A and B are shown apart, each in its own frame.
Chain A
């Protein structure tokens, strides 16, 4: 079974630029999550999708972050404009319906200069 795929793996941008991350969850998984993990901290949930609907985006900085999951499969997370404090690893995870286990992708490491 293929795992959660994310791209790119690394991205370096300057502040005020925009960036987008892509996630392909495990086939058949209805729930998709985006987390932000700052160095030395645990992952923090940014947004949770159930199929293509948003379940929780309470911790998403909506003035600069946006996410979508068209057709309930792949998802993209965008930051526009980026700030220095957005430097972090962005993790995508997925889980099956009624499953508590989350399967994480390798993450995208973002550095904002």
Chain B
């Protein structure tokens, strides 16, 4: 069955550093991947989409990569701030969105 895995349950980093989150999928080829941010008690908020024929996408301090050979996407937040603290969800799309379990990012001053 189609699965998507986010390797870290939690990631703690210092303010100003770059946070890197990992998402892996197996045995299928998503048409695209999406990254969402979810704060406690709220629904996910869309951040970025990257298609299978794209290697990299950027939006302000956010960057996402898509490596179809490694079957992996990396999500980077540069110059991280305490306000970036949240859970980040990776999702793959074939005929429906399949979400990973999320990585909880904590940025401390």
A residues lining the B interface (CB < 8 Å): 4, 40-45, 48, 56, 91, 93, 100-107
Instruction: Name the CB-closest residue of B to A93.
Output: B43
How large, as a class, is the contact surface on chain B? 20 to 34
Instruction: Name the CB-closest residue of B to A6.
Output: B43
> Contact partner of B101 among A40, A91, A102, CB < 8 A?
A40
6 A-B pairs with least C-beta separation: A42-B99, A104-B43, A101-B46, A43-B99, A104-B44, A42-B101
Q: Which residues on the A side are within 8 Å of B91 (C-beta)?
A: 42
- Which residues, 39 to 84 on B, are CB-close (under 8 Å) to A? 41-46, 49
Contact across chains for B97 and A102 when beta carbons are under 8 A apart: yes
B residues lining the A interface (CB < 8 Å): 32, 34, 41-46, 49, 89, 91, 93, 95-102
- CA separation between A93 and B38, bound complex, in Å? 14
Q: Which residues on the A side are within 8 Å of B44 (C-beta)?
A: 43, 91, 104
Q: Which residues on the B side are within 8 Å of A105 (C-beta)?
A: 43
Q: Which residues on the B side are within 8 Å of A100 (C-beta)?
A: 32, 34, 49, 93
Instruction: Name the CB-closest residue of A to B44.
Output: A104
- CA separation between A42 and B95, bound complex, in Å? 17
Contact across chains for A106 and B42 when beta carbons are under 8 A apart: yes
Contact across chains for A45 and B46 when beta carbons are under 8 A apart: no
